Structure 1
Amino acid sequence: MSPASSSAARRTGVALAASGAILFSAKAILAKLQYRYGVDSLQVLALRMAFSLPLFAALGVREHGRARARGALPTRRDWGLIVVLGVLGYYLSSLLDFWGLEYVPVSLERLILFLNPTIVLLIGLFAFKRRVAAREWTALAVSYAGVVLVMVENLRVEGDHVLLGSALVLGAAVSYALYLAMSGELIKRLGSLQLVAWAMIVSTAAVLIHYLIARPPSALFGLPWQVYALAAANAVFCTFLPVTFTMAAVGRLGAGTAAQFSVIGPVSLVFLGAWVLGEKITAIQLVGTAVVLGGVWLLSRPGANSVPLPASATDKTSG
């Protein structure tokens, strides 16, 4: 790629990553609002995925046609990886995240998910034998110290259930970081939009199968209309758009750099949670949030990209 086209791809990737981070964050607010109508995490997740399914199916059909034209249809091995990524990245991660939101405020949920860059860095260390500089170890320590500070304060304000919720959300963060790190090969070969369309369809199937095993289908009907309206908004604005934006950003920036733009999420949710949901904000929570942001900022400096994609990956995702 020429320097000009590479620079343009990076600017586009930055805009997509930032937009995706903001929209992703808002899903926690919508889920919390749905919980006020007596539904639980599995119902919220099932409705979200069911409403988003037609969007991803349409995207999948379009991208399948484009892939056929350029000879980039998934192989049998690719389909196996797509199933793994769909279950790992969107089914498991979303299930743990929404479950955790039953126990923790949105500001803490987003702060834990904000550890994605540090988790991707550790995946790069253990799975890809990447060398980690002393500055990056410092950033890791600072980030996790900030999360612990906020968690302890939330334990004082909210109660012991915060520990369970925090563990669930951390599991969601690890699951999604694995998805980001493992998706690079398929993005390079298939393109980001084709991958995300099929992965989300797999994830939706997994969620609905889980729901049908655990609950009667009738439990999804006859709910207050507000639950369905919030689910539809969650599906379009906090699932379909940010997922496609984020995967396109990964294709242009690499997994580590794209993950770093989650910085916008915890900052916005600290105040949105207080404004929309009435959640408490304390000085210690603000200090802890600032500490975590500082740690991830250190990782965002040049040379801190943990699991980068080859530059050629942008060639297959720019369309």
Structure 2
Amino acid sequence: MPGRRNYALGLALVLLGALGFSIKSILIKMAYAADHGIDAITLLALRMLFSLPIFIIAALAHNLKVRPPALSKKEWLFVTLLGLDGYYLASYLDFASLQYIAAGLERVILFLYPTFVVLFSALLFRRLITATVLIALLLSYSGLILVFLNHLSAASPNLWLGSALVLGSALVFAGFTMGSGVMVHKIGSLRFTAYTMTAAGLATLIHFAIQRGTALSGFSADVYGLALLIAVFSTVLPAFSMNAGIRRIGADFAAIISTTGPIATLIFAYFLLDESISAPQIGGTALVLAGVSVLGRSKA
């Protein structure tokens, strides 16, 4: 009975994390609409400014309680590079893409990153692509093409630019995912998340200072409120809840549950952003989710 309760709690935590990450795109689009003077690096800097103290405090509290061994110089370098890769560069490309494309399309393209992990693994480590994995890839990319063609028919301005940016984000995040497994196992998920987010946060603030100066002021109250929501409900809480859920049910099953994210984004975008939902978009999203789900089940 306690085992079942623990598993159920894990499912709930992963689902909560997936929903938190899925609403991030909606909040970003709302922030851009609230103040047309804000751009990707400014909003990302505000997100890091609000979330960074929480990650630092969490890491300090954990280290004081557990007293883990110090990281070597090589481990610090690896953690820093992963933070710059996954939480700075990938996030910046993602935030920038939402200046040009709909939240529903962004989430579908971004959600392809597990398929890129498979392809990178096949290329770099010469891992065999099985028939099941091939079917999953065909489903995912067929769905992406269907969704993209649906948006192409709407003649959206800068569609290609926005899609290329989020595709770059997915590719970069796939690399982060491949590199993070070893370090999470070595130093623990809480320290890994806090350290990589700290590295990314400092890089983001330096980027902002070089491009925009040092003043993060002069924006509307709505922008600050939305940035705070992005930091807390779409960054900090999902990161910790997802990690806690993965510890209880495993990464493979967590990946399957996370397929609810793009569906939630479509629903939120329809009600909060007035984005249309068409049959091709629903069908394409379903194909992408089916492909990623097959990948998750094949790993499990």
Question: In structure 1, what is the Cα distance between the partners aligned to 2:249 and 2:72?
Answer: 25
- The Cα shift of 1:257 comes to 4.5
Equivalent pairs, count: 297
1:223 to 210, 219, 224: 219
> Is 2:243 aligned against 1:244?
no
**Aligned: 1:147 with 2:144:** yes
User: 2:240, 2:294 → 1: CA distance?
Assistant: 27
Task: Give the aligned partner of residue 205 of structure 2.
Answer: 208
Mapped contact 2:255–2:296 kept (Cα < 8 A): no
Q: Structure 2 length normalisation: TM-score?
A: 0.91
Q: Is the 8 Å Cα contact of residues 196 and 247 (structure 1) preserved in structure 2?
A: no
Q: Which residue of 1 aligns with 2:294?
A: 298
Alpha-carbon distance change, 181 to 11 in structure 1, aligned in 2, over 3 angstroms: farther
Alignment of 1:161-310 (within 5 A): 161-218=158-215, 220-251=216-247, 256-301=252-297, 303-305=298-300
Could you list the per-position Cα deviations for residues 259-318 of structure 1 after superposition, in whole angstroms to 9, with x for gaps in the alignment?
3433111111112111100112211111111221222222232x335xxxxxxxxxxxxx
**C-alpha distance in structure 2 between counterparts of 1:201 and 1:256, whole Å:** 27
CA distance in 2, matches of 1:207, 1:122: 29
Partner of residue 44, structure 2? 45
Q: 1:274 to 1:248 in 2, by over 3 A?
A: same
How far has the Cα of 1:80 moved from its partner? 0.7
Greater mean alpha carbon deviation, residues 115-124 or residues 162-171 = 115-124
How much does 1:97 deviate?
Answer: 0.3
Code of the aligned partner of 1:294: A
Q: Does 1:63 align with 2:54?
A: no
TM-score in terms of structure 1 length: 0.86
Between 47-56 and 152-161, the greater mean CA deviation after superposition: 152-161
Which region of structure 1 is more displaced relative to structure 2, 127-136 or 91-100?
127-136
Matched-pair contact (CA < 8 Å) for 1:67–1:73: no
Paired AA for residue 239 in structure 1? T
- Tell me the alpha carbon deviations over residues 148-178 of structure 1, each in whole angstroms, 9 at most, x when there is no partner: 1101111111425111111111111122222
Following TM superposition, by how much is the alpha carbon of 1:8 offset from its aligned partner in structure 2, in angstroms? 7.3
**Secondary structure in 1 matching 2:154:** helix
What SS is found at the alignment partner of 1:229?
A: helix
Distance 1:95 1:157 in 2: 26
Asked if 2 retains the 8 angstrom alpha-carbon contact of 1:193 and 1:244, the reply is: yes
Asked whether the 8 Å contact 2:255–2:293 carries over to 1, the reply is: no
Partner of 2:108: 111
Supply the distance in 2 between the matched residues of 1:53 and 1:59 (Cα, whole angstroms).
Answer: 10
Measure, in 2, the Cα distance between the counterparts of 1:152 and 1:106: 16
- Tell me how far apart the structure 1 counterparts of residues 168 and 249 of structure 2 sit (CA, whole Å): 25
> What is the aligned partner in structure 2 of residue 82 from structure 1?
79
SS of match in other structure, 2:259: helix
Q: Percent identity?
A: 39
Retained in 2: the 8 A contact 1:25–1:269? yes
Unaligned stretches of 5+ residues in structure 2: none
Q: CA deviation at 1:11?
A: 5.1
- Asked if structure 2 preserves the Cα contact closer than 8 Å seen for 1:64 and 1:73, the reply is no
Quickly say closer, same or farther: Cα 1:52–1:78, change in 2 above 3 A: same
* Uncovered stretches (5+) of structure 1, i.e. residues with no partner: 306-319
User: Alignment RMSD, CA only?
Assistant: 2.1
For residues 17 and 178 of structure 1, the distance between their equivalents in structure 2, rounded to whole angstroms, comes to: 22
